[in-house]
Structure 1
Amino acid sequence: MPDVPTHLLTGAGSGIGAALAAQLTDRGDDLWLLARDAGRAAHLRERFPDATTLVGDLAEPSRLSWALDHQAVPSRLDSLLHVAGVVELGSVAETSVATWQHQLAVNAVAPAELTRLMLPALRAARGHVVFVNSGAGLRVSAEWTSYAASKFAVRAIADGLREEERANGLRVTTVYPGRTATPMQEKVHRQEGADYDPSRWIDPASVATAVVAALDLPRDAELTELTVRPRG
């Protein structure tokens, strides 16, 4: 019987991450879920009782190494799935240093550091790293500059990692979803002062399905970039 794939996933508490965790759980894969704190880890265990939780705060990437050193982590990873993220809209003229630093830390530096820490396990499985980016990682609109900067950084991390780890058998995929019906999107609409109608946007499960398709692609190919857009 083939080995069950093992995945480490961030952002499983809601939106795309929760939909992806549900799809991987339903097919019997082995899930490790990273939570910000013990309370959120307990909530994830209630929702995904077959999963293993780890605690590490993406807002403090410099502490991730210490946090994971004090927990059991998988020795072999078929995939590392970066889904967690934060967003704050605002013009360059009005965005504080703290807002810049928070978005860059959570959206870019923490995924890079978590990837670094998990590379031995990923190399052992010739695994797959997936970055769920954003349309803002391809183009910038007014009021989106600091968020887009963090997502452009993620694109650079993914592209560099792909070249650096090719000889070790790793695959790296960046997924660029358009507006998706998630709690983050609801927050964005509030910041934009717009009415939120989730039926206009992509279902999180559709993005999760795209991620799973990238994971399941035969080993003779690599889906490097994937753009998912609402049909409306």
Structure 2
Amino acid sequence: MAVYVITGAGSGIGAAVARRLAERGDELWLWARDAARARQLADAFAGARTLVGDLGEPERLSWALGHQSPPDRVDGLLHVAGVVELGGVAELTPKVWRETLAANLVAPAELTRLLLPQLRAARGHVVFVNSGAGLRASPQWSAYAASKHGLKALADALRGEEAANGVRVTTVYPGRTATPMQEKVHRQEGKVYDPERWMTAESVATTVLTALDLPRGSEITDLSVRPAG
């Protein structure tokens, strides 16, 4: 049984990954932004444990984790949570930039830092669920794309730093996926949302598990997955 800490397990890709890992009997520690969300996750995933901390306030994560009892070893830390706000550079405020970078970049960096001892003990695996926006930026996507470009840089640096400790690092770059976040994006774009046009969260979950299950001694560093057609 492997031990996984997962952010963003409440919906979309994170929920799909958590379901797949739970079905095969792995031990789940699900990150929740507050106690109410933790109760919801515990109800949704029988047997899962929860950790509470607001990813929008990464400077408080050390304090939050210090008042809880995280696992002694972590086989996989899966960063799936994220936020998105579209808008032109001429329109986006410092508040939007700070919130986007805090949740999408600074929080994953800090949570990784805090759990590195457990990851090293297990010779574990860090997976960053990034985005196609982490490889290219489009108009109206500057804040989100900047946070995801930064997340790629974080993963690349971490991989080099922790290779000697046996910690593997993978970045997955999904294209548009049928999730609540994608529905929000379509509203911001003023477009009709048709989930049938996009990949399922299960497809991305399969991609994540492919990276996790690769035999030790090999490593998928970067993996892009796109809707077909």
The alignment's TM-score, normalised by the length of structure 1, stands at 0.98
Q: CA RMSD in A?
A: 0.4
Deviation at 1:49, TM superposition (A): 1.6
Partner of 2:145: 148
Deviation at 1:191, TM superposition (A): 0.2
Q: Percent of counterpart pairs with the same letter? A: 68
Partner of 2:159: 162
What is the CA–CA distance in structure 2 between the aligned matches of 1:75 and 1:107, rounded to whole Å? Answer: 25
Which of the residues 3, 8, 11 maps onto 1:6? 3
What is the CA–CA distance in structure 2 between the aligned matches of 1:205 and 1:41, rounded to whole Å? Answer: 23
In the TM superposition, 1:80-95 aligns within 5 A as 80-95=77-92
Which of the residues 50, 60, 64 maps onto 1:63? 60
TM-superposition CA deviations, 1:126-147 (whole Å, max 9, x none) = 0000000000000000000010
Partner of 1:200: 197
What is the CA–CA distance in structure 2 between the aligned matches of 1:122 and 1:154, rounded to whole Å? Answer: 19
Q: Could you list the runs of 5+ residues in structure 1 that have no partner in the other structure?
A: none
Partner of 2:218: 221
Divergent runs of 4+, >3 A: none
Partner of 1:181: 178
Helix, strand or coil at the partner of 1:87: coil
In the TM superposition, 1:40-59 aligns within 5 A as 40-59=37-56
What is the CA–CA distance in structure 1 between the aligned matches of 2:184 and 2:175, rounded to whole Å? Answer: 15
What is the CA–CA distance in structure 2 between the aligned matches of 1:153 and 1:195, rounded to whole Å? Answer: 30
Partner of 2:208: 211
What is the CA–CA distance in structure 1 between the aligned matches of 2:88 and 2:144, rounded to whole Å? Answer: 10
What is the CA–CA distance in structure 2 between the aligned matches of 1:133 and 1:162, rounded to whole Å? Answer: 15
What is the CA–CA distance in structure 2 between the aligned matches of 1:189 and 1:14, rounded to whole Å? Answer: 17
Deviation at 1:206, TM superposition (A): 0.6
Q: Could you list the runs of 5+ residues in structure 2 that have no partner in the other structure?
A: none
The alignment's TM-score, normalised by the length of structure 2, stands at 1.00
Partner of 2:116: 119
What is the CA–CA distance in structure 2 between the aligned matches of 1:18 and 1:135, rounded to whole Å? Answer: 20
Q: How many residues align?
A: 229
Deviation at 1:201, TM superposition (A): 0.3
Counterpart amino acid of residue 176 in structure 1: Y
What is the CA–CA distance in structure 1 between the aligned matches of 2:74 and 2:36, rounded to whole Å? Answer: 25
What is the CA–CA distance in structure 1 between the aligned matches of 2:114 and 2:20, rounded to whole Å? Answer: 25
Counterpart amino acid of residue 155 in structure 1: K
